Amino acid sequence: MASGQLFSRTTQALFYNYKQLPIQRMLDFDFLCGRETPSVAGIVNPGAEGFQKLFFGQEEIAIPVHSTIEAACAAHPTADVFINFASYRSAAASSKTALKQPTIRVVAIIAEGVPESDTKELIAYARTNNKVVIGPATVGGIQAGAFKIGDTAGTLDNIIQCKLYRPGSVGFVSKSGGMSNELYNTIARVTDGIYEGIAIGGDVFPGSTLSDHVLRFNNIPQVKMIVVLGELGGRDEYSLVEALKQGKINKPVVAWVSGTCARLFKSEVQFGHAGAKSGGEMESAQAKNQALMEAGAVVPTSYEAFETSIKETFDNLAAEGKISPVKEVKPPQIPEDLSTAIKSGKVRAPTHIISTISDDRGEEPCYAGVPMSSIVEQGLGVGDVISLLWFKRSLPRYCTQFIEICVMLCADHGPCVSGAHNTIVTARAGKDLVSCLVSGLLTIGPRFGGAVDDAARYFKDAYDRNLTPYEFVESMKKKGIRVPGIGHRIKRGDNRDKRVELLQLFARTHFPSTKYMEYAVEVETYTLSKANNLVLNVDGAIGSLFLDLLAGSGMFTKPEIDEIVEIGYLNGLFVLARSIGLIGHTFDQKRLKQPLYRHPWEDVLYTK
C-alpha cells in the first residue's frame, strides 16, 4: 500500500445507499474548510434515479442519484472515493463492484459484521490492484481542511473544537471510530492538530492495517509525527513493530494499545469490536505496548499519560524547528437548519398548511381528535368517519346511518349515465384506475349529480323566506332557472324513484324534524300538476334531508349550515358515493377484457 496522501481539497466521492445526515455532514465540512466544490459528486441508490436536495453552505444544491455503481462512475469520472453505507449483507458485493471500476481508488465500508471470507476477498483484490479499503466497521477517515468520510469526527461543534477545518501536523490512525473522535480532541489540545486521521475499523480482518497508514503518513511531508491507538486482539500492531525495527519509519510515533484492563478479568473478555479479543499473551495489550516501546515508539505508562506523551513529542519537534506554527483561521459560520433553530427557540417560522380535521403526529392518527383505535374499538362505520373528517364532530347514530344510506343509494346508476359511460370508455382504452375514475368524476356538475347543493340551497332559501311552492317555482321560472332536485328523465309521478322513497321513510322514522323535506314534497306536488316527470329526484331528496339533518341535530349553528351548503359538502357526498360505482365499472371492463370503444356511425347524425 504505502504511497502517500489519500485525499485532497478536490477529492470527490460517490455515496452508496442514500443517508441524508452523513452526506449533509460531509457538505457542511466542505463549507467549513472553504472548499469550492462539494465532496459528494453523486449518490448511488439501487433502483432509483433523479436528484437529492442538500445544502452546501447557504446554497441548496441538487446531487445526482444513479441506480447503479457503473452509471455513477461513468457520470462522475473524477470521483475516486466510494463511501459504502450498505448493510453487512450487501456491503461486500457492492464494494467489489466499486473496486472493479477504474475510476475508484479508495473504498470505505461502514457496515460491521461483513462475512470474513468476503472481506478477505476484497483485501486480496484491493492489494492486487493497488487500491485502498478502509473498514469494514469503520466510521471512515478525514484529512483536515480538505475531505472527510461520512460521520467521521462527529458533529460540527466537535470538528471546530478539534480544529479539523484546517490541517495540522499529526497523522493519526486507530481501529476505533469512537476513540478517534476522542483522540482528535486530545491531539488538538496539545499539538497544532490533525493532518490526516483514519479509523481502520474494528472487525477481525480490516481492509487496511495500522502499519499501512503509518507507512503512508511517513511519506507525507506535512505529517511531522504519528499517533497510533491500537487495541488488544489480533497481531496488527506487530507489523508496525517490524516496520519500526527495520527503519522504515523515520518520524516519531506515539502509540498506545488499549485493553490493559483485560488481565483483571478471570476469563477471556470480548470488548466492543469483533477483533478486540485477546487470543493469547501475544495479543494482549501489555505485550503489544512492550513490543512497540522496544521497537522505538513512544509508549506511555497508561492511557491517561497518552496526552502527555503526545504533547512532549510535539513540543520537542517544535523546539527543534521541525514544525512551523500553523496559521489559525476562523471557520465560516454554518447556517443552522430551520428545524434545529426552531427547536432551540432561536427562530419562529410560519406554517404552510393548516389542518383541523386530522393529526398524524402521535402514535396513531386521530380524526377530529378521535384516535383511530377508538374508532375501530367502538365499531364505528364510514358514516362516523365522514362526520369526523367533514363535520369535525361525532354526529348522532341516525345521522351517520343516513350518510351511509346516501352513499349506498348513490354508488351507481347503471352504465348509461354520463359518468359511468366516460369511465367505461376510458377503461376500454387501457388506461389505469385513477384515469378511469377521474374521467367519470369530471362529468359531475350542474347537469349530472351536481344538483344536491343547489337543491339544498334553493329549498332552504325558499322555506326560510316562507315562500309558497307556487311562489317559489314561478319565481324560478321567471329567472329562467330549473328547480334543482325536481325532474327525472325516466321516473314519473306514478313511478317514483325507489331511492327517494327509502330516504324519506328513514327520515320520517328517525329524524326529529323533516320540515325541509316536507317543503320539497309540497313543491313536488305543485310541479307534478304541470308535468308528470317533474318528480322529486334523489338530488332533491338528499339536499332537503341534509338540511333537516343539520338543523334537527342541534349540533350546527345557522351560519355553519349556510357555510356547509355553500362550500359544497353535499355534492361531496355524491362524488364519494359515485366513486364506488365508477371504480366498479373500471374493474368490470378490465375483467371482461373489453376492446377499445368506438361509437357506431349509425348513432351519429352527420349533417351540414
Q: Which residues are identified as catalytic? A: 273
Q: Please provide the DSSP assignment of 96-125 as one string.
A: HHHHTSTT--EEEE--S---HHHHHHHHHH
Alpha-carbon span 228 to 208, nearest angstrom: 14
Hunting for cell 475510476 — which residue is that?
Answer: 103
**Which of 123, 133, 128, 143 is CA-nearest to residue 29?**
143
The Cα-based distances of 45 to 22, 139, 373 in angstroms read 15, 20, 36
How buried is residue 61: exposed, middle or buried, by Cβ count under 10 Å (0-12/13-18/19+)?
middle
Q: Which three cell numbers stand for residue 139?
A: 466510521
Alpha-carbon span 262 to 265, nearest angstrom: 6
Q: Which residues, listed in sequence order, are joined to residue 50 by a DSSP beta bridge?
A: 65
Sheet containing strand 370-371, strands side by side: 358-359, 366-367, 370-371
Provide φ and ψ at 85, rounded to 5°. Answer: -100, 20
Asked whether the beta carbons of 437 and 423 are under 8 A apart, the reply is yes
Residues 6+ apart with CB under 8 A from 454: 446, 484, 485, 543
**Which of 72, 26, 27 is CA-nearest to residue 49?**
72
**Which of 493, 460, 459 is CA-nearest to residue 473?**
459
